[in-house]
Structure formats: structure tokens, C-alpha cells
Structure 1
Amino acid sequence: MMLGRVAVPLAAAVTLALPAVLDDSALAVYVLLGLAAMVTVGVSLLMGYAGQVSLGQGAFYGVGAYTAALLALNGLPPLLGLLAAPVAAAAFALVVGLPLLRLRGHHLAFATLAMQLILLSLAGQLDFTGGDIGLQAIPPFSAWSFEAGGVTAYAYLTWAGLALVMLVTRNVIASRPGRALRALATSETAAASSGIPVGRYKLAVLALSAAFAGLAGGIYCFYTGYVAPGSFPVLISIQYIVMAVVGGLGTIWGAVVGAAAITLLVQGLDRLANLPGMPSYAPGVLSYAVYALVLIAVVLFLPNGLVPAIRRLLSRERPAKTR
């Protein structure tokens, strides 16, 4: 407990200090890491606490990005677009969740994957989404007299969004609905017999995780100034699950640690794959191979993820030091 009280303020201080010392290249990774962590917290809540499997979080990420981009390009304030992004993603989750959440296990996973594929196909064909070319020249984010004019501003905006997501998730987990979600993950039949409205809670947690992804998507569109179907490939949804599993499903900090570990690993592999003499197919091969190897290693040696393993290690060392 004492370690947690020290670690959280220390992590917050380091997070706030880093944008001031990183160069633009490192700040770009910093922003992408924060956006991935926002989505992964929702994945951890959905899968770790509620026991629901989703391979379509990238679709909600895309809905948020397209919503914010379309509103900003049509003359509405970017702040309004950013606020509308999580709302639109949650609304979309409610619509598709009504039929999809009747499924369970791998059937639900494949259905959410199909949902993302359908959404990407539609976005590539519709005129108002820009088709395969996408939406370009999205104005930078601004709110009242503030305008995000550089990567540093987006770094702080991203981590403010992540702090909000983590705070909301923590309050949900500690509440009565949070206890109901844990019961639901253990056994839907037992939860229903205890008076828990299983269908309503499953739909609500899907919508909340989608809202987190939508918020990240809204920030992403203003940061890049461009969104297209290629910005949200199927691999990105798998990547979020890998992040949640590596960090530790059912833990808030596990989602952040997993996002950081995988993002930094992917960036390192990208640099390795682009070294002179590497074949053109190296980036794709390295990405898939590493995801497979990381998942195998975690399942074999750290089945609960990095954060739970670290917690167990520290709890074993403390009694030894007091003797």
C-alpha cells in the first residue's frame, strides 16, 4: 500500500516532466503510447473485469476519430468534436452490442472482428468519409484561446485524457456496479440468479470501453490531421489485446504498463526492420512474430501479466526484509 502511494505520484511527476525534455521524434512515440493506453484500459475493463472478449476496439477508435474529424471539417469547434467522439463511439457500441452481446466466447470475438471489417469497408466506400483516401487537412485541436500548435501540447492532452480514463475506471471498479461486473465475469448464470441485470451490465461496460477508445480516436485525428481506413487496421485491435494481456488483465496500471511495453517494442522493431539491408517484408514479419512470441512467453511464464507478477514479487520480498 505504501509503495502504491509513492509510485502513483512519482509516475505522475515523471509523466508531466517528460514532454519538456523529449525531442519531437520521442514525443510522437509518447503520444501514441498514451493513446494506446487509453484504449487498453477499456480493453482491460471489458475483458478483465467483465469477462467479455472483443476484437473490435479498433472500430470504436475509428468511430471517434471520424466523428471528431467530420465535425471539425464542417466548421464546428474542435473541442465539440473531441467531446462528441466518445459519445459517438459509445452510441455505436450500444447499437451493435444489442445483437452481438447475445454471443459468448470466441463467437463474440469473431463477431466484433467482423464488425470492424464491415466498418472499414464502409468507410472506404462512402463519400462523406473520404473513401480510401480518407479525410485530410483536419484543423488542429483548439479550445477557447488555446490551440495545440505542437507535439508537446498533444502529449499533455493525451495524458490528461488517460488520467481521466483511469480515474473513471477506478471509480467504476470500486463501485457496486464494479462488483457486479466481477461477478458477471465469474459466472453469468450465477450473476443473473443474484439479481444482476446481466444484459444491461454487459452493454454498459462495452459502451464505456468504446467511449475510452473514441476519446483516444478523437485526439488521434487532431494530432495527425488525417484519418483513413488504413489508420485502423485489424491488427490494431489485436495489439490492444496483447497490451492488456502482457500488462495484466483486470488491472488499470497493467493496461498502461502493457501499452508502454508493446509500443516501445514495436517502435524498436520498426527501426530494426528499416535498417539498411533488411528486406521489404521485414516490418510485417517482425511485428507478427513478436506478438506471437510475447504472448507465448507471457502465457507460459507470466500468465497473469507483468503488473500482478511484480506485485507478487514485492509482497514476497517485504516480509524477508523485516526479519
Structure 2
Amino acid sequence: MKWAYAVAAVGALVLPVVLAPGQLTVFILLGLSAMAVVGLSLLMGYAGQVSLGQAAFTALGAYTSGLLSLHHAPPLLALVAAPVAAALAAVVVGVPILRLRGHQLAFATLALQILLLSVLSGAQWAGGAVGLQGLPYLSVGGFELDQDLDYAYLVVGGVLLVSLIAHRLVHSRVGRGLRALATGEMAAEASGVPVGAYRLLVFAVSAAFAGLAGGIYCFFLGYLAPGSFPVLLSIEYVVMAVVGGLGSIAGALLGAALITVVVQLLTSLATQPGMPSYAPSVLSYAVYALLLIAVVLFVPKGIVPTLRRSL
């Protein structure tokens, strides 16, 4: 599989130069999704926690960067604050909700996202339903990132950073405990693994990855609104993680790439003349359901783990 990583790395460096402007935007959004999905894949694959609110941490990171930059904080500091704020929020909410299991936890994380979006929609300090406008470009050492190509390579760097951190975590002492936790909670606890602490750690790391994606998104788009982070986005993240393979960094990246392309195709189809206004949402939910059913039936471990076993 090493050749596959090499091809992916070369492709990530070459593609931004050859893509058309619209395609470059899709490439950036793909990378941002990949960053959030890597964390979610770890959370679901190792800690066994199903989160339907990953986009809440993306929104939290984006609004943290946006508000700080509008209040004249250095843009780079505002970007760094995004994953930190998301991780701290995950620790605060994770202590009570990680006591839940199964569908209860899934619904609790979904409720958190709905609550956050409601607060942002009604908060004047966050721009309300209109959102934050006129956000500055990200600048580093006097160099301003004002082109899509700049953000494309920033996203590539972000995906690389997130992947390296996730890889180090999985292959560390904590990672060994997480693998034991993935095989069975009671057995891991009997072996001395601090199950609660490790679950909270992975939840915070997952949130930090999503927060970093949100921070970059804030500067790339220059505009934020609660509608930018719908519940459907969290569902997309879950589908990406499951399709690619839970607990697999490569699976998260592949799942993000496949689903992002599918979303763009669905958007193009649903916005054709004569299609109703609700067509994008209906098509998205239908295709996500079909994809999940297909994965469960034919590749229950996800695409990447299945390929690894067959090679």
C-alpha cells in the first residue's frame, strides 16, 4: 500500500496547479472534509462512539477564527485558536455525554449541533442568521493568502498534519489502549486501560481536527453563517468515515474524496432546470442511505480495510 500513499501525495501536490477554478474549490472543500473525517474515523473506529455532531466542532472552530479576526487578532493566532477552542468544548461536553452509549450518544451529539446552530442564529455578537461578513484573508509572516491556490496548499498541509498526528496517536501507548478498547470495552478495562480518559482524549482530538478545518474554511470563504454547517454535513462526515473504513486514516481520506465528488454530482443534477428546490436534500439523503446499505452488505469494514485484506 506504500505506493498508494506515494501516488496520493504526488497527486495532492500536482492537482491544485492543473485544476480549473471551480474544481480547485471542490479540492479545498474535499481537504477540509478529510480533516474532520480523520478525527471522526478514529472516534468511531477506536473509541466506538458514534457522533452525529462533528460539524458542530467545525462551526465552533470557524466562528472562533472569524470572531477573533474581526476583533483584530492576528489571523494566524485566530487560526490556531480554532482547534484549541473546539478541543476545549469537546472536553467540557464530553465528560457528561460520553457516559451515554449507542443511539443515545448519537442523538446527544446531534442535539449539541442543533443547539449550537440555534444559539449562533440568535446571537447578535455572532451576526445572527446573517452571519459574519468581511472576514480578512489569512496572513502568515506578512504574506497574505488571497488566492484559491494558496488555500489549496494550506489544506494539503492541514491534511498532512492531521494525518501525522492521528498516525502517531494510533501507534503510541495510547493507541495500543485504543485498539484494546476497539476489541472490547470490558476486556480493555480489565487490562488496566483508562477507558473513560481515552474516550475523552479521542473525542477532543477529533473535535480539534474539525475545528482546524473550520478555521481554514473561515478564511477561505470570508463569510460564515449558521446555514454553512447543517446537520446534513455531520451525516456526510459519518458516511465518509464508514465508506472509507472506520479506524483507518487512508479510509477517511478516500471516503472524503469519494463522497465529496458524489455530493458535487448530486448538486449539479439537483440544480438542473425544472428540479424542485428540495431536490438537493432529498437526493443527498437517498444516496447516503444507499451507500451505507451497499457498504454494510458488500464491504462491511469499509473500502480501504477490505482492499488491504485482499492484496
Paired amino acid for 2:126: T
Residues 125 and 131 in structure 1, CA contact (< 8 A), matched pair in contact too? yes
3-state secondary structure, aligned to 1:128: helix
Matched, 1:245 2:245: no
* Alignment partners' CA distance in 1, 2:267 and 2:231: 18
Q: Is residue 75 of structure 1 aligned with residue 72 of structure 2? A: yes
- Report deviation, 1:188: 2.0
Structure 1-normalised TM-score? 0.94
Normalising by structure 2, we get a TM-score of: 0.98
1:147 partner SS: strand
Residue in structure 1 matching 2:13, options 16, 21, 38 = 16
Paired position in structure 2 for 1:318: none
How far did 1:158 drift?
0.7
Q: Give 1:133 shift.
A: 0.8
Q: Deviations over 1:121-157 (max 9, x none)?
A: 1111112111111111110111112211111111000
Displacement over 6 Å in runs of 4+ = none
Alignment RMSD (CA, Å): 1.0
Q: Which runs of 5+ in 2 are unaligned?
A: none
> How does 1:262-273 map onto structure 2 within 5 Å?
262-273=259-270
Query: Which deviations, in whole Å up to 9, do the C-alpha atoms of 1:176-232 show, x marking residues without a partner?
Result: 100101212222222222111111111111000000000000000001111111111
Post-superposition CA distance 1:28-79 (Å, at most 9, x none): 0000000000000001000011211111111111110000001100001110
Instruction: Give, in whole Å, the separation in 2 of the partners of 1:153 and 1:227.
Output: 20
Question: Does structure 2 conserve the Cα–Cα contact (< 8 Å) formed by 1:86 and 1:212?
Answer: yes
Identity between Structure 1 and Structure 2 (%): 62
Structure 2 counterpart of 1:101, one-letter code: L
* In structure 2, distance between residues paired with 1:80 and 1:161: 16
Rg (Cα) greater in structure: 1
Aligned residue runs from structure 1 range 58-137, under 5 A: 58-137=55-134
Q: What is the alpha-carbon distance in structure 2 between the residues aligned to residue 138 and residue 128 of structure 1?
A: 14
Displacement after TM superposition at 1:279 (Å): 2.7
For the residues of structure 2 that align with 1:279 and 1:45, how far apart are their CA atoms?
38
- Answer with 88-97 or 120-129: which moved more: 120-129
Q: Which amino acid aligns with 2:50?
A: V
Q: Give the secondary-structure state (helix, strand or coil) at the position aligned to 1:124.
A: helix
Q: Which ranges of structure 1 fall in alignment gaps of 5 or more residues?
A: 316-323
Note if 1:210 corresponds to 2:207. Answer: yes
Aligned residues: 311
Measured in 2, the distance between the counterparts of 1:113 and 1:261 equals 24
> What is the deviation of 1:7?
2.1
Report the Cα distance in structure 1 between the residues aligned to 2:193 and 2:305, rounded to whole angstroms. 28
Structure 1 residue aligned with 2:228: 231
**Aligned positions of 1:1-323 closer than 5 A:** 4-313=1-310, 315=311
Inter-partner Cα distance in structure 1 for 2:81 and 2:279: 39
Q: How far did residue 308 of structure 1 move? A: 1.7
Is the Cα–Cα contact under 8 Å of residues 141 and 147 in structure 1 kept in the other structure? yes
- The AA in structure 2 aligned to 1:112 is T
